[in-house]
Structure formats: C-alpha cells, structure tokens
Amino acid sequence: MITVTASTWFQAWVGLEVNMMAFVPLVMEKRSTLGAEAGLKYFLVQTVASMLLVGIVVSNEMQMGGSRGGEFPVESLTLGSMGIMVALILKLGMAPFHFWFPSIAKDLLWKSLLLLLTWQKLAPLSLLSKLIEPSSNNWVLSGVILSCLWVGGLGGLTQSTLSTLMAYSSISHMGWMVGAMVVGDNTWLTYLGVYWGLTVAVVWGFQQANCYSLVHLWVKSTTPMTSSVSMMLGMMSLGGLPPFLGFFPKWNVIDGLVGRGWGLMGVCMVVITMITLYYYFRVVFVGFTYWGNTLNLTETLPSYGEEHKLNWWAWGMVGLNFTGLVVLGVTWAG
C-alpha cells in the first residue's frame, strides 16, 4: 500500500523493498533445499530490478538538476521511462524477463504461490500504469503484450505441474493487463479484480484437493464431485471462455482497444489466447474424464466437516463463474 499511495519514486521504491522483505520468508516456508533456492532466486531478481529502478530515477534527477524531487511521472525522459518499465516488468515476471517466474512458482506452497500470483502484482502494476498513457501507440507496449501472450500460451502447453501452469497463465494475463492500461479508465483495475477472484478460487481449490499435477487430478478420486466441477469451471473462466465471468474483462479490453485504434492488436490477442485456452481445456478434460475412477477407492473419505467446507467453497465458485450470465443479460438488456 506504500507503493500504491506513493507520490514519489523514492517512496514507491521503499514500498517495493518492504513488500519484498515480507514475502521472502514465505517463499522459503517450504523447508527444503528447493525452498531456500527459490527464496534466494526471488531475492536476487527483485534486488537487481530495484537497483535498476533506483539507478534510473537518480540519473533522471541528476540530469534535471533535482528540480522534480523524484515525483511521478517521467515523460520528459523517454529512455528513463523505458528503463523503469523494464525494471517493473522484471519484478512482475512478465515476458521477456520471465525466466525466474515459473521456476520459483513450482517450488512454492499453494498459499505462497497464491500471494505471488495476486498480491505481489499490485504494487508493480500500479507503478507501471503511471508510465503508460492511454491510447499511446508504442511499439514497446505492443512487444510486451504479444511476448507475454506468446510465452504464457506456448510455455503452458508442455507443463504437467499445476503450479507452473498457473505461473504461465499469470504471464499471459499480464499481457492482457498491459492492454487494459492502454485502454485507460482504470480498466486494468477491473481486470485485476476479476483475475484475483478467479485465481484465489482455483488455487484454493487445488490446495483443498491436495493436487499438484495433472496426475493428481485423477489420482485424488475421493475429492467431492462438486469441488471438481467448480475447479474446472474456474479454469474455463480464467481462459476467458464465454459466458463465464473471466470472459467479460477480456471483452472490455478488446472493445477498448478497437475504440482507440488498436484493433489489429486486439485481433492478435484473441488469436494467441486460443493457445492458452487449449491448456486450460486440457486440465478440464483430465478432471472430467478421470475424476471418480477406481485408482484410489481405498483412500479415506473426507470427514463431514471437511466435506462441508469443500462444498461451501465449491458452490461459491460455481456462483462466481455464472455471474457472467448475469452480466451478459444486463448487457443485452441495456
């Protein structure tokens, strides 16, 4: 929140550092060599990005004679804006600086991964939105959007680990987030809110079902059917399949891009997203095909309390996804 409410780059940097130091212990919560390695890797990447950010801001201030006081924005220096954008993209794990993101994601516990995919995005995204002017026809922004969508789509095709798949899904959604910033009108906040809600629901479901890979989707046969159905609906909604809730933020972004002269980019985004939708459907296919098979019928069934908790979450997830039908009805009625 320090970064979101900051008025200068120095205040924003302090917020980013506090946020990083608070998150590193959570990354290392998995008491193993992999957890320590993930924590060290996350710390090093964030430190390099912070050094780049501070270096560019200080250089900008020196060239301006200290007259700006480090305040937002930095349009006066195009190269400075680009450099800060690179630092923020590195912090977010967006393509083409995504090399660290999937490798860390696969070594995290579900609750730590959930924070990495949601809360840890807020501060850098809020700073990135200050650098992107709505309707700005910038080849750098086009490159970032397309690279995120390509990497997020192609990278997830070969993954069997659910945490890594969610990481590539996040990279793809970051491309849509940048597109929403080009649209303006705080469209990216709406997209971020829906993405947060769907990601929390899906990841929490995987944690409750104790699933970490595609294999677990059929080995964990004792998971209640309502939970499996709701998780599958969540995956389809994350993919942007109509009429689920996740479709409408994408529709809003495409409509805004077309209205601002980015129609070709909108078409490219829709086409590339079909790749991402494929591996979402792969998870759905595996879940619906193999859930309830006889591989693990000897496992202990969940207690009444556990089953009640799962069903409460499951029906909530179903309701969240079918909110899209309500939105569609209101849109058509209007």
| pLDDT tens by residue, the chain, 334 residues | 788 888 888 889 999 999 999 999 998 887 667 788 899 999 999 999 999 999 988 887 777 766 555 566 555 446 778 889 999 999 999 999 999 999 999 989 999 999 999 999 999 999 999 888 776 667 888 999 999 999 999 999 888 899 999 999 999 999 999 999 999 888 999 999 999 989 988 888 788 778 888 777 766 555 566 666 777 788 888 998 888 888 999 999 999 999 988 999 999 999 999 999 888 888 887 766 655 454 444 444 444 444 444 455 555 666 666 665 565 555 444 4
| pLDDT value of position 179 | 95
Strand partners, 213: 161
Residue 209: partners with Cβ closer than 8 Å, 6 or more residues away: 216, 220, 223, 227, 228, 231, 310
Strand partners, 55: none
Are 229 and 159 a contacting pair, CB within 8 Å?
no
CA distance 197 to 213: 22
CA distance 147 to 160: 22
CA distance 135 to 265: 12
- Count Cβ atoms below 10 Å from residue 161 Cβ, excluding itself: 16
- Count Cβ atoms below 10 Å from residue 240 Cβ, excluding itself: 24
| pLDDT value of position 182 | 92
Sequence-ordered alpha helix ranges (H) in the chain: 9-27, 33-63, 78-92, 101-105, 110-117, 119-131, 139-157, 162-183, 187-209, 216-219, 225-238, 247-259, 263-290, 304-321, 323-333
What pTM was estimated for this model as a whole?
0.87
CA distance 209 to 192: 25
Crossing angle of helices 247-259 and 263-290, in 10° steps, is: 170
- Token couple for 238: 């994350």
- Token couple for 231: 């998780």
- Count Cβ atoms below 10 Å from residue 82 Cβ, excluding itself: 15
